[in-house]
Structure 1
Amino acid sequence: MTNKLRVYVIILSAIFIIYLINMIRKNKINLKYILSWISISTGILIIALFPSILNLFSNFLGVKDPMNALYFLGFIFLIIVVFSLTVAQSRLSDKVKSLSQEIALNNYEKKINNKSRDEI
């Protein structure tokens, strides 16, 4: 990685981390959904600051080119993010189903109560 590219990556990662922290501070997003993005951005920042870490990691994995190890890390992190979003979406889907059923029951009970009052 060239020094010019390292500077760009460091600046962009730092700006993105600051942006994420501001989103949390302004309550625009929940902390549990943003932790993975903060950890990924911090990891990118650390790798840009200390590129020898990527060389050590690629040697540990037995990968010749450190960039291939970086692509592997990115792929693993993306899989983790997609899985966590899938779990969150599944939970929200169950909650929507439960709330819809509860609203339908409440509306049905109101309708029955109104009919019984009209009969009296």
Structure 2
Amino acid sequence: MLPVYNYFTAILGILTAGLIIYLIRRDSLSSNYVVWWFGVAAGLIFVGFFPKIVNFFGKLLGVGYPPVILIAVSWCLVLIKLLFMDIDRSRQERRIRILAQKLALYEQQAQSGQIKPGKDEK
């Protein structure tokens, strides 16, 4: 029989998966991030129901207190997630800058009379 904290971890994973599905249905979470968060939920469920796997890897790696492996892996995953978020934000900033430059050129051409404004512009 599993200890209570293992059930708590598994239930936390199931609740995380449910929250992800809810956010997807409300269109609050982009499909680009769904795989990442389902991976987190699956990891929580897996560790909750199979805690011996942590002990196995702890012995394999020679770690005296195996739960530290989960902390180290979690920190690595957080850093990877932050890196991907920074890459995405940089890409968006670049696109916004290009769009702002195109808009400025368009406005300059419209003011100089090189192009005629559309129906909505007056």
Q: Secondary structure at the match of 2:72?
A: helix
TM-score by length of 2: 0.84
- Partner deviation per Cα, 1:59-98 (whole Å, 9 max, x = no partner): 2322111111111111111111111111111111111111
Q: Flag structure 2 segments of 5+ consecutive residues without an equivalent.
A: 115-122
Paired with 2:69 and 2:46, the residues of 1 have a C-alpha distance of 15
1:13 aligns with 2:13: yes
Paired with 1:24 and 1:105, the residues of 2 have a C-alpha distance of 38
Q: Is the 8 A contact 2:10 2:45 kept in 1?
A: yes
Per the TM alignment, residue 4 of structure 1 is displaced from its structure 2 partner at its CA by 1.7
Q: Is the 8 A contact 1:40 1:77 kept in 2?
A: no
Q: Flag structure 1 segments of 5+ consecutive residues without an equivalent.
A: 115-120
**Which structure has greater helix proportion?**
1
Matched ranges for 1:13-92 at <5 A: 13-92=13-92
Alignment length (residue pairs): 113
Paired with 1:21 and 1:56, the residues of 2 have a C-alpha distance of 32
2:7 maps to a residue whose letter is V
Paired with 1:103 and 1:86, the residues of 2 have a C-alpha distance of 25
* Equivalent residue, structure 2, for 1:100: 100
Superposition misfits of 4+ residues, deviation over 6 angstroms: none
Q: Percent identity?
A: 22
1:15 maps to a residue whose letter is L
Paired with 1:26 and 1:57, the residues of 2 have a C-alpha distance of 39
Q: Secondary structure at the match of 1:29?
A: coil
Paired with 1:86 and 1:72, the residues of 2 have a C-alpha distance of 21
Paired with 2:96 and 2:61, the residues of 1 have a C-alpha distance of 43
Per the TM alignment, residue 46 of structure 1 is displaced from its structure 2 partner at its CA by 0.2
Paired with 2:108 and 2:57, the residues of 1 have a C-alpha distance of 61
